[in-house]
Structure 1
Amino acid sequence: MTKATKLLTALPQPQRGRLMTLAREVSFPEDFPIFEAGGRADRFWVIRSGSVSLTQQVTAHHRVTVASLAAGDLLGWSWLFPPYEWDFGAEAFSPVRAYEFDAAAVLGLCEEDRQLGMILVRSVAEILAHRLETTRGKLMEQYGSHRRGAL
């Protein structure tokens, strides 16, 4: 996979139109904490503009950025999988405009329109696979540079 899937463009027009009826436009100022790891995952966003940092708390006082998301990217997938809690934190790196979707409403729509549900789940899975591969590459780079420095 060479290019990340963008959730909205992955959906055929009829399904995208149905999903967009549930969208609510929101904005977040720079440095705004959108959600914290362990919090209840009951919504997701598609970023329209700006950038968001996905973060992981490493120690009580140290947090690292594990990914950066930009326009078109899906923010949040934990709403799709039990126990419906965020795996990471997310913070607006710059002012952000996004479409916000209520998870329960989207899941209800997916029950009504099984084709939309299947395409949505496949698209989220593709996005997760791409992010996992990207993260793996970054870890390998970091490990490789750490090992070279240790020699």
Structure 2
Amino acid sequence: MLTRNGLLEALPEDRREALAALSHEVTYEAGARIFNEGGSTDRFWVIRIGNVALDVHVPGRQAAAVQSLGAGALLGWSWLIPPRTWHLGATALSAVQADEYDAAQVRALCADDPVLGQAVALYVAGIIGGRLRSSRRRLLDLYGPYGSGADL
């Protein structure tokens, strides 16, 4: 059950099995909608195989892809932070296999085990920070006079 993924690797070794026990494997076909922006966050995933596009709703148009995630990536962080609604949508770009976690069970485990809870919170904060930096670079490339200065 203990697959190599960033979330489990971020935990102290003696806490990994407790979190892994709350997951089960799911699959999505290419093109499957996994969740919609504004929906309730009752679960999250760690991608094993495949790619998922994160997108933002654009009124009157097709959703605009803002990032893609691959193997080992955490899909969904909004489950941890109130109001616990999706900030983006997600669609499988290819066939996807992932470990799915029930968000309420994970939050309860984190509340019962502060060491595990802190490790999960720090991991998710790092994910949010990385995605924010990535979005900032893309915005600079699109709208900045000299781009972001980073080779993407």
Q: Report the AA paired with residue 39 of structure 1.
A: G
Amino acid of the structure 1 residue aligned with 2:54: L
Q: Which amino acid aligns with 1:114?
A: P
2:33 counterpart letter in structure 1? P
* Inter-partner Cα distance in structure 2 for 1:28 and 1:144: 37
Q: Which has the higher helix share?
A: 1
Correspondence 1:143 to 2:136:
no
Q: Distance in 1 between matches of 2:118 and 2:124?
A: 10
Give the C-alpha shift of residue 62 in structure 1: 2.6
Contact map agreement 1:52 1:70 (CA 8 A) in 2: yes
Q: Is the 8 A contact 1:8 1:72 kept in 2?
A: no
1: CA distance between counterparts of 2:132 and 2:117?
Answer: 22
Q: Does 1:130 align with 2:140?
A: no
State which drifts further: 42-51 or 7-16.
Answer: 7-16
Task: Indicate how the Cα distance of structure 1 residues 145 and 94 shifts in structure 2: closer, same or farther if over 3 A, else same.
Answer: farther
TM-score by length of 1: 0.89
Unaligned runs of 5+ in 2: 148-152
CA contact (8 A) 1:78 1:84 kept: yes
Please list the CA deviations of residues 70-124 of structure 1 after superposition, one character each: whole Å capped at 9, or x if unmatched: 0110000111111111110000000000000001100111111110000000100
Residues 89-100 of structure 1 mapped to structure 2, 5 A cutoff: 89-100=89-100
Amino acid at match of 1:134: S
- Root-mean-square deviation (CA, aligned residues, Å) is 1.7
**2:68 corresponds to which letter in structure 1?**
S
For residue 6 of structure 1, report the CA deviation from its aligned partner: 2.5
Q: Identity rate of aligned residues, in percent?
A: 45
Equivalent AA in structure 2 for residue 74 of structure 1? L
Equivalenced residue count is: 143
Q: What SS does the corresponding residue of 1:78 show, helix, strand or coil?
A: coil
Deviation at 1:146, TM superposition (A): 9.9
Kindly provide the amino acid, as one letter, of the partner of residue 6 in structure 1: G
SS of equivalent to 2:34: strand
CA offset at residue 58 of structure 1? 1.8
Instruction: Summarize the Cα distance change of 1:116–1:63 in structure 2 as closer, same or farther, 3 Å threshold.
Output: same
For 1:82, the aligned partner's letter is P
**Are 1:60 and 2:88 counterparts?**
no
**Unmatched 5+ residue regions in structure 1?**
none
